[in-house]
């Protein structure tokens, strides 16, 4: 069995910054990343690099920033009035808003996103809504742990079920 559309694929991988070698994240063989191949949930070039591979095959490739999470964009940096962050008592709890913290937010269309705090003043919080990996060339290495055919439910839902996938 080889990786193609409508397969549920488990991979064990290490992700690092391609230019600096800095470690970013890693799975383990016991808790691999599990995903439904070909539905667009992950970086397209990541999937392209795995096409046709079998269980046990290794991979080692890089993806430049513009094909991964894009470049950091000044337009994704916003100044937000402090009163947006008031709690139910109308108070601002500064302990929750330290520089570098990631705060869950939603945009005017209700989309969930996370903002990284860059600066806090007496009136505003400056937040960066760029993806944390924006601007980074990514290096992936690892191996294919498992491949199976997706169930009709998984294909209908557009994601993998079971361990490592959606539990519902
Ligand atoms: Zn589902």
- Report the CATH architecture of 74-128: Beta Barrel (2.40)
- In the structure, what pLDDT confidence band is assigned to residue 121 with cuts at 50, 70 and 90? very high
147-151 mean pLDDT: 97
Q: Which residues make up the environment of ion ligand 1, defined by Cβ < 5 Å?
A: 157, 166
Q: Top-level CATH class of 7-69+134-157?
A: alpha beta
Residues 6+ apart with CB under 8 A from 162: 34
pLDDT at 21 over 90: yes
Token pair of 67 as six digits: 């094909």
Instruction: Tell me if the pTM is above 0.85.
Output: no
Percent of the chain with pLDDT over 70: 100
Residue-level pLDDT at 80: 93
All CATH 3.10.50.40 domain ranges in the chain, comma separated: 7-69+134-157
Tell me how far the alpha carbon of residue 82 lies from the centroid of ligand 1, in angstroms.
38
Tell me how far the alpha carbon of residue 54 lies from the centroid of ligand 1, in angstroms.
25
46-58 mean pLDDT: 98
Residue-level pLDDT at 65: 96
What ranges in the chain are assigned the alpha helix state H?
A: 44-50, 152-157
Tell me how far the alpha carbon of residue 156 lies from the centroid of ligand 1, in angstroms.
8
């Amino acid at each position: 069995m080889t990786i193609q559309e409508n397969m549920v694929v488990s991979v064990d991988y290490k992700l690092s910054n391609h230019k600096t070698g800095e470690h970013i994240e890693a799975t383990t063989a016991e808790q691999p990343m599990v995903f439904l191949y070909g539905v667009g949930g992950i970086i397209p070039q990541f999937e392209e690099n795995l096409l046709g591979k079998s269980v046990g095959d290794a991979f080692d490739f890089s993806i430049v920033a513009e094909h991964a999470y894009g470049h950091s964009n000044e337009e994704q940096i916003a100044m937000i009035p402090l009163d947006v962050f008031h709690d139910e008592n109308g108070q601002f709890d500064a302990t929750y808003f330290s520089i570098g913290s990631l705060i869950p937010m939603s945009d005017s269309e209700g989309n969930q996103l996370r903002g990284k705090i860059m600066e806090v003043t007496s009136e505003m919080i400056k937040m960066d809504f760029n993806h944390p990996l924006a601007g980074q060339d990514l290096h992936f290495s690892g191996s294919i742990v498992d491949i199976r055919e997706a169930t009709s439910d998984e294909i209908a839902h557009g994601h993998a079920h079971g361990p490592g996938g959606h539990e519902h």
